[in-house]
Structure 1
Amino acid sequence: MKTSHNLLRREIVTAAVLLCGGLLTSTASAQPAVYQQALKATTWVLAKNSEGTSSGTGVLIDKERKLVITNAHVVGDSRNTVIFFPAMVNNRPKVERSYYLENVRKLGIRGRVIAVDRKRDLALVELSSLPEGAEAVKMATESVPQAATVHSIGNPGSSEALWVYTSGTVRTVYQKKFRTGAGQHDFMVVETQAPINSGDSGGPVVDDEGNLVAISQAIAPKARLISYCVDITEVKTFLESPWKPAPLPVTELLKTMDREFSQHSSGHYEVSFELANEEKVSVFITKDIEYYERADVRKIWTLTNVSKKAPSAETALKLLQLSARTKIGAWTMEQTQTGEYLIIYCVKLDATASADAVSSTMEYVAKLSAAMKKDLAEKPETASAGDTLANWLAD
């Protein structure tokens, strides 16, 4: 009886081992197939913006309309990109970066950034063409469940290779508000323990069936093996909402305005306006774009007055009244670390405004500042008639 029991136990254990081995073999064999499927939709994204050339990853989500989605922080303030799809040799992708850069005329595809959503850190790029063999990724119908296996492809800057494969497990899915170097974000996060490196951003995260479940976004800098991805529900909401155009880079705007400009030591840009009375006023425009939700704004300002004395209550009241009456912008008073008092006029303008609108706004700021500068100029004190009579008699 004991021998029979041991024999049955060994048979159960053997069956369990064979079953687990079969599952592992099945999962392992499925990974190359998932990779090859997702690879057809994966792109290398290059964009030149005010900070230089950025490199990231993207994924083709609409073959008919030739649309690639990536992270907003990958394209930055650029409206143009260069896109590469993997060049295949013997069913394997060429992974050397130099190969693509040296053959940019043959392999590079021009892309135009047609929409951005900085809150979700997503951007949409429309391509001029598609290479043979490119296929759009299929999108999952709902959020990926916890503990599911996910696969991703990226172009990490830390590696000399492109089209790098990574796999991991979904830790959880939840709504998250957080800040990265790209700004403030608020979206449904797929948190995984698959590593994300600089250059992987914007790449596809797919399930075992090859369906897109998320877009790679960022890592938790103070934690180990915690990566954040933009959930597929956020991607769909972005695609279904009215598309907001990407703001022009500030240097492109200034060049279009046909005005001379220079970059200040602070990194912001300075434009000098010569007014009718030959007075020159410097107006500044920020190098960065501020945003809230889907509102993108540029800050334009000028320094009108610097004083070691605090502005009087009368001056403060006057500035407050003028701010209520001005067409755009407002007056502000600030104190520096050295104790000086600054009077500044500042306008926050829609970052997608045309070059003509920006030029008109900057000229308006210059004229308003010049007028206020005259009002704030210290006037010599005039003695009263009584004081004058007393002084004369004293002499």
Structure 2
Amino acid sequence: MSRLTRNTLFSPLLILLGMIALSATPLRADSSGYQQTLKSTAWVITSNAENETSAGTGVYVDADKKLLLTNAHVIGESRKAVVFFPTQSGGKLAVRRKFYLDNILKLGIQGDVVAVDRKRDLALIQLPRVPAGIEAIAMADDSTTPGAKVALVGNPGDSAILWVYTAGTVRSVYQKKFKSTHGEHDFMALETQSPIKPGDSGGPIVDEAGKLVGLAQSFSPQSPLVSFCVDITEIRQMLNSPWKSAPLPAKVLLDEAGIEYSRHSSGHYQIDRTVGSNTQAVFVAKNTEYHGRADIRRIWSTVQTTDQAPDETLLMRLVRQNAATKLGAWAVEKTASGYVVFYVAKLDATASDETFESTIDYVARLAAAMQQDLKPKPNQETAQATLQAWLSE
């Protein structure tokens, strides 16, 4: 048999062996990359003022300051978080949620939310300690490019399993401005062709070298395979800029300040202040308002509700009063049942307890004085209906 014939017979086998050899490298690389990323990935659990629990993912980014990065929407208004890092059980990676929850006293770490950037949808949790073997993730210097392969390690909420690996491809990198149920966002987005599920939010997006190139943020409602991530350039900018303190939820602030309150049917908080011989109801908004990097807490009191529009005399009086008030302003709003006149102050949501309580008192005194001056008195049934309509918005 000629040499050509022998090569012809064996060439399919050689080609197959060559394909196996070529494919073995990326398979090992994927496994190695997963193990390395796992050392920086965490499961994050938070709860709001109503004790409703939510969970997501985080990535350890700074070993010196012990900082964990996640999405702002994972944190919500919580200022505490319970963090779990992956561990082994019986010589293997423990992947079941129940295992970690059953061992929360041993494995859970209580962290403080020290910074929130709603615009970028990023938040930082500072930890008192981290387990042995946990490492801060290496970060890419700049954005990756379309066509690049990426991977995510996350904790999808529809699974009883943690530390789930998902591979994908970069579709594009661009500036994305949009609104979500978590607020208004504007950041450099890394769009990928890979599924991100609720619970994966805050998880590390890494390149083939295992470096952080983005943070899992959301997925497209039109296509579950199209996902949006916060680009590494945004992450670096937040880490390198002065951190913005995260405001406390209204309920927590009221409790810590020792202010007595009741919960209105609208969900807002009602504080009754005695002014002279009368009681003036002041309301604190249940949610913090966000405008860029400004966190605003709204405090208001209603002084008049009528089914007729305020006349020119009253409007001019309110305008003059606005020029003299120290903070806040008078406003008139039309609702489905009439018109409401109220005084509203918008306070920095990170202001001290003393400033917060002083603002409540100021709003109460100013509103009570105006209410005494306004004639005729409103029909109480109409007033309650109008107040309810305005508070429910």
Same fold? TM cut 0.5:
yes
Partner secondary structure for residue 367 of structure 1 = helix
CA deviations on 1:149-204 (whole Å, 9 max, x unpaired) are 11111111111111111111110000000112111100000000111111111111
**Structure 2 residue 48 is matched with structure 1 residue 49:** yes
Give, in whole Å, the separation in 1 of the partners of 2:144 and 2:296. 35
Name the residue aligned to 1:93: 93
The answer on whether the counterparts of 1:115 and 1:244 sit within 8 Å (CA) in structure 2 is yes
**How many percent identity over aligned positions?**
48
Find the counterpart in structure 2 of residue 384 from structure 1: none
Q: Which amino acid aligns with 1:300?
A: I
| CA distance in structure 1 between the aligned counterparts of 2:309 and 2:285, rounded to whole angstroms | 27
- The answer for the alignment partner of 2:323 in structure 1 is 324
- Write the distance in 1 (CA, Å) between the matches of 2:335 and 2:267: 19
> Which one-letter code corresponds to 1:318 in the other structure?
R
TM-score between the two structures when normalised by the length of structure 1: 0.89
- Residues 284 and 299 in structure 2, CA contact (< 8 A), matched pair in contact too: yes
Q: How does 1:275-286 map to 2 (within 5 A)?
A: 275=275, 277-286=276-285
Instruction: Report the TM-score when normalising by structure 2.
Output: 0.90
Deviation, 1:374, is: 1.4
Deviations 1:47-74 (A, max 9, x none): 1223522211101111122111111111
Residue 38 of structure 2 corresponds to 39
1:269 aligns with 2:269: yes
Q: Deviations over 1:274-316 (max 9, x none)?
A: 12x2311111111111111111111111111011111001111
Offset of residue 377 of structure 1:
2.1
Listed one character per residue, the Cα deviations across residues 219-256 of structure 1 (whole Å, up to 9, x for unaligned) are 11133411110000000000011101110111111112
Whether the 8 Å CA contact 2:249–2:288 is kept in 1: the answer is no
Superposed displacement of residue 257, structure 1:
2.1
Q: Which amino acid aligns with 1:378?
A: P
1:358 is aligned with what amino acid?
A: F
Structure 1 contact 50–287 (Cα < 8 Å) conserved: no
| Structure 1 residue ranges without an equivalent (≥5) | 380-395
Contact 2:81 2:112 in 1 (8 A): yes
Letter in 2 for 1:222: Q
**For 1:138 and 1:37, how far apart are their aligned partners in 2?**
10
What are the equivalent positions in structure 2 for 1:129-148 lying under 5 Å apart? 129-148=129-148
Query: Any gaps of 5 or more consecutive residues in structure 2?
Result: 378-393
Aligned pairs for 1:228-307 within 5 A: 228-275=228-275, 277-307=276-306
* Alpha carbons of structure 1 residues 20 and 263: separation in structure 2 relative to 1, 3 Å: farther
- Counterpart-to-counterpart distance in 1, 2:281 and 2:15: 78
Paired letter, 2:335: T
Task: Identify the residue that residue 106 of structure 1 maps to in structure 2.
Answer: 106
Match of 2:367 in 1: 369
Give 1:12 deviation, angstroms. 10
2:337 is equivalent to residue 308 of structure 1: no
Q: How big is each residue's C-alpha offset from its partner over 1:324-365, in whole Å with a ceiling of 9 and x where there is no partner?
A: 221111111111112x11001111111111222111101110
Per the alignment, do residues 269 and 16 of structure 1 end up closer, same or farther by CA in structure 2, a change over 3 Å counting? farther
CA contact (8 A) 1:298 1:350 kept: yes
Number of the residue aligned with 1:181: 181
Q: Which residue of 2 aligns with 1:347?
A: 345
Are the aligned partners of 2:196 and 2:224 in contact in 1 as well (CA < 8 Å)?
no
Aligned counterparts of 2:144 and 2:321: Cα–Cα separation in 1? 54
Is this contact kept in 2: 1:112–1:127, CA < 8 A?
yes
